[in-house]
Amino acid sequence: MTPGKFITFEGGEGAGKSTQVTRLAAALRAQGIEPVLTREPGGAPGAEEIRALLVQGSPSRWAPMTEALLHCAARSDHLELTILPALRQGRWVISDRFADSTMAYQGYGHELGRAPIESLHRVVVGDLAPHLTLILDIPVAEGLKRATLRAGKDNRYERMDVAFHERLRRGFLEIAALEPGRCVVVNAARDVDAVAADVWAAVQSRLLAKG
């Protein structure tokens, strides 16, 4: 068992994850906890190189299974080099996306199905699970609009069709329904402060209150 806490943020495009990671980190610092902030795909040198392969180029650049394997390859380095060492030191780790994104985007969005993704997770992640996963939920049209307005952060997933984004949104909600002990769905179609308040309430009740 690892002594640190592992928190992940998940959600579709334009849900505001990075803003909420920053807000949660500030709230934790005010409690004397300096978290390690990281992201997927990426979070380790080789994983950041794989990220470029995944987020740049045409939406049809990869076959769905290739894409799933690339995300898992990046995750393996991220776990070995960043997440596990930090947790072993007792640090709190906040990751902007983790394994649920592969289930939602590749399993549901690209329709690979749950079973193959679960098999990949068993190999790559094993029995490590985040202590808390915050799923920021926003209607697809609203999220894609926000993502488009965000300067200089275009990625190939944002250019996939609306049906793909509807499937992955449903995927995240199904993941949350299957694992209510780990996942909290937050309505992200509200202002930043309201979302941050819900995130903080979840962290307080589920992690800080329990020590």
From residue 57 to residue 86, what is the string marking binding to ligand TMP with x (rule CB under 6 A)?
--------------x---------------
Q: Give me 204's structure tokens.
A: 């307080």
Of the residues 97, 131, 165, 169, which one makes contact with ligand TMP according to CB under 6 A: 97
State both tokens at 54. 């995944």
The residue behind tokens 């250019």 is 159
Q: Which of 175, 72, 152, 8 is nearest to 167 (CA)?
A: 175
Closest CA to 101 of 51, 77, 135: 135
Burial class (CB in 10 A: 0-12, 13-18, 19+), 9: buried
14 binds ligand TMP (CB under 6 A): no
**6 or 105: CB nearest ligand TMP:** 105
Using CB under 6 A as the criterion, what x/- string covers residues 166-205 for binding ligand TMP?
Answer: ----------------------------------------
Contact 64, 106 (CB under 8 A): yes
The reply to whether 19 sits near ligand TMP by the rule CB under 6 A is: no
Please identify, among the stretches 20-28, 94-102, 132-140, 185-193, the one whose residues bind ligand TMP according to the rule CB under 6 A. Answer: 94-102
Site for ligand TMP in 23-52 (CB under 6 A): 39-41
201 contacts 184 by C-beta, under 8 angstroms: no
Give dist(CA 104, CA 157) in Å, integer: 12
**In the numeric block, which tokens belong to residue 185?**
């769905």
Comparing CB distances to ligand TMP, the nearer of 33 and 55 is 55
Is there binding between residue 105 and ligand TMP (CB under 6 A)? yes
Interface residues with ligand TMP (CB under 6 A) are: 13, 39-41, 54-55, 71, 97, 101-102, 105-106, 155, 157
